[in-house]
Amino acid sequence: MSPSSRLEGISEYYFSQKLREIAKLNAEGKNIINLGIGSPDLPPQPDVIKVLQEESAKPNVHGYQGYKGVPELRNAFASWYRKWYNVTLDPESEILPLIGSKEGIMHICMTYLNNGDLALVPDPGYPTYSSAVKLSGGDCISYELKQENNWQPDFAAIENNLTGKVKLMFVNYPQMPTGQLPDQQLFENIIAFGKKHNILIVHDNPYSFILNDKPMSILSVDGAMDIAVELNSLSKSHNMAGWRVGVLCGAKEKIDNVLRFKSNMDSGMFLPVQLAAAKALQLGKDWHDQLNKTYAARKKLVTGLLEAINCKVAPHQAGLFVWASIPPSYKDCYELSDEILYGTNVFITPGGIFGKAGERYVRVSLCCTEEKLKQATDRLQKIKA
């Protein structure tokens, strides 16, 4: 039985393949230090876990749940957006909890793209944007982000390259993988571009609390609700990646449209997880400050690790990773990544998996203990470029 044609041009997710390779190397006794994936290694706040434990012990919480999430969670998201982003949302009609924001990317593409419709995706950028567009039948137009332009879109260049009607544009700030922070002008420019061309702006915003004391939402821009939706997540900000709790925020019409697709794809999120997530959304500045203190210490070590192999780290990066340019002596990022993996048993991510614009860069995760980072640095001393 041959697979569907929609899988043509879609490869297995890079990290899915790489984790199997690393597992094989570990089975051979290599003891790989994996600095690739941004899966938080720290636990959620204890009170959040306590809510999950207490609620899951109740006999009446194990059935199907509503497709829009329980009011407690939607209200918590609304309060969270008001407190941290200064954005007012109607919890009844403008907030849709998701089983992780990654599914929201697919839901949006399946909701809005017909065969042959065009979507703008950033290069470098999260590979799932392109995959979701292709799986839904759409076609991708990559827009290149450059370091000399602070990894921001060049709107004039994008307009010059448009060959048809674009329906969606994915943007992501703080940007992954580069760590570039947004400012109000950038968000205003993106919204203005979307309105000018009648393009739905899809802003993916999971990193705004990590190593950043000024979280921003694109929905804070005047008129943004007319043309934009925003995805957010508790995976990074609250150490809940495996819990799969995300959210889509936007105008009622857009939420209703996505819900038409989503309601045919799942049967709701486990109620105790929703209630625990609502508790997590109530955490204050102390939680984020303590978490960022840990990441700041790790970032200092990762910066030293990258400098040990003559990679250059740009300043002022946010998020769970450090992005760095590679030495000119290497053909590309894959050569450097493989040399490190097979020469020192340390895995760092080649930037080329995020697009052609990332081929002279590597990315290192902060989701690793200081002890492991020091061990990795010691190993990398062996191959100074």
Token output for 241: 């990646």
Round to the nearest angstrom and report the end-to-end CA distance of the chain.
Answer: 49
| Predicted pLDDT at 38 | 83
Domain boundary assignment for the chain: 5-43+285-383, 62-280
- Residues (pLDDT < 70) of the chain are 10-15, 383-385
Note the pLDDT tens digit of each residue in 102-120: 999 999 999 999 999 999 9
| Predicted pLDDT at 385 | 45
Q: Residue 385: which residues within 8 A CB-CB, separation 6 or more? A: 309, 310, 327, 329, 330
Query: Which homologous superfamily does the CATH classification assign to the domain defined by 5-43+285-383?
Result: Aspartate Aminotransferase, domain 1 (3.90.1150.10)
Note the pLDDT tens digit of each residue in 350-373: 999 999 999 999 999 999 999 999
The residue type found at 189 is N
Note the pLDDT tens digit of each residue in 233-269: 999 999 999 999 999 999 999 999 999 999 999 889 9
DSSP 106-120: HHHHHHHPPTT-EEE
Note the pLDDT tens digit of each residue in 325-350: 999 999 999 999 999 999 999 999 99
Task: Please report the beta strands in the chain, taking only residues with DSSP state E, as ranges in sequence order.
Answer: 33-34, 95-98, 118-123, 139-144, 166-171, 200-204, 228-233, 246-249, 312-313, 321-325, 346-347, 349-350, 361-365
Q: What is the pTM of this model?
A: 0.94
| Predicted pLDDT at 83 | 98
Mean predicted lDDT score pLDDT of the chain: 94
User: How is domain 62-280 classified at the architecture level of CATH?
Assistant: 3-Layer(aba) Sandwich (3.40)
